[in-house]
Amino acid sequence: DSGGHRRLAALEDRPVVPLPVAWPQSLEPDHLACAPGDGDHTVVALTAAGSGVLVRGAGRGAAQVAPFTLEGLLELGFARSLTWGPSGLLAVTVLGKVASCPAPSSGATSAYCSEVPLPPLPGHAASAPAAAFQHEGALRVAVAHAGRLAIFHVAGAEWSEVAAVHLPETEAAVVSVAAANGHLLVTSSDGAAHHWRLSNGLPAPAPPARDRPAAAAAQRTWQSACMLAGGDKVIRLASSWKRVKGGGEQLRPELLL
């Protein structure tokens, strides 16, 4: 356990900007995953059931939005997280399973997910925020629980903890864990994203950097965040109430950079 990591790298809160995304009317995505190492800032935003959109060019003018669905995911349980790595998408489900799905390809509107043959996740990982990722072909899972971010891998027939860092002390609850482009991110209910650089598949022994939206962005429900390719920009998925024709309000998703 790497102690003393409750300190934060000194970063000011910053304003965040909603991106121009033409969302389907009925879509309320829960998870966000950033494509690895590409140059056009591609992300996928999906519901826990696996339906959503692929967004290309996020933050670079008018983004290209296309429908995308993960087939077969519901058979393994609703997704609790989504990671986009070099070998495709990985989802940790509410049933404690890990699903592997091919990466979105050009023109494809769906991909079929299958269960990764693994031992059951540790008991607390079945309900705590968690994310799966690969290191040198081996699968690892990061779990945020009891004030720690613990990294597990499979040793023999069971999961074994290989490293852990303390989560920063905050009153805000952890809402998601994500792995993307060489970083682990823990997002809390106030929109703050604390991120550690990965070194040899483990969080680097340094205080996490904090990227937190300024107070003006507080009137949102924050759901997920990931690191865009390049490793220097955090993109967030949130939702907020928007006025619609007729004078009513509707909960609508947002991508914020």
Q: Report which of residues 236 and 2 the model is more confident about.
A: 236
Helices (H) and strands (E) counted in the chain, each on its own, are 0, 21
Cα separation, 175 vs 27, whole angstroms: 20
* Residue 252 confidence (pLDDT): 93
Q: Report which of residues 7 and 66 the model is more confident about.
A: 66
Nearest-5° angle of CA 201, CA 43, CA 46? 100
- 219: pLDDT confidence band, cut at 50, 70 and 90? confident
* Residue 11 confidence (pLDDT): 52
* pTM of the predicted protein model: 0.91
For residue 116, what are the contacts with CB-CB under 8 A and spacing of at least 6?
90, 97, 98, 99, 100, 139
pLDDT at residue 245 tops 80: no
* Lowest mean pLDDT across 32-36, 58-62, 149-153: 58-62
Q: Which two tokens stand for residue 224?
A: 């997920």
pLDDT at residue 187 tops 50: yes
Q: Give the amino acid at 100.
A: S
Residue 51 phi, psi (nearest 5): -105, 145
For residue 188, what are the contacts with CB-CB under 8 A and spacing of at least 6?
170, 172, 173, 174, 175, 194, 222
* Residue 9 confidence (pLDDT): 46
Cα separation, 151 vs 141, whole angstroms: 6
pLDDT at residue 131 tops 70: yes
* Residue 217 confidence (pLDDT): 61
Over pLDDT 90: what percentage of the chain? 68
151 by DSSP, 3-state: which? strand
At 163, which helix (H) or strand (E)?
A: strand 158-166
Nearest to 253 by CA among 57, 64, 241, 188: 241
Average pLDDT taken over every residue of the chain:
89
* Residue 7 confidence (pLDDT): 45
Burial per residue of 14-27, b for 16 or more beta-carbon CB atoms within 10 angstroms, e otherwise: eebeebebebeeee
pLDDT at residue 53 tops 90: yes
Instruction: Over range 182-188, report the average pLDDT.
Output: 95
Instruction: Over range 76-88, report the average pLDDT.
Output: 95
Residue 89 phi, psi (nearest 5): -100, 140
* Lowest mean pLDDT across 17-21, 49-53, 111-115, 243-247: 243-247
141 by DSSP, 3-state: which? strand
* Residue 218 confidence (pLDDT): 63
74 by DSSP, 3-state: which? helix
- 121: pLDDT confidence band, cut at 50, 70 and 90? confident
Nearest to 82 by CA among 96, 99, 67, 66: 99
8 Å CB contact between 236 and 253:
no
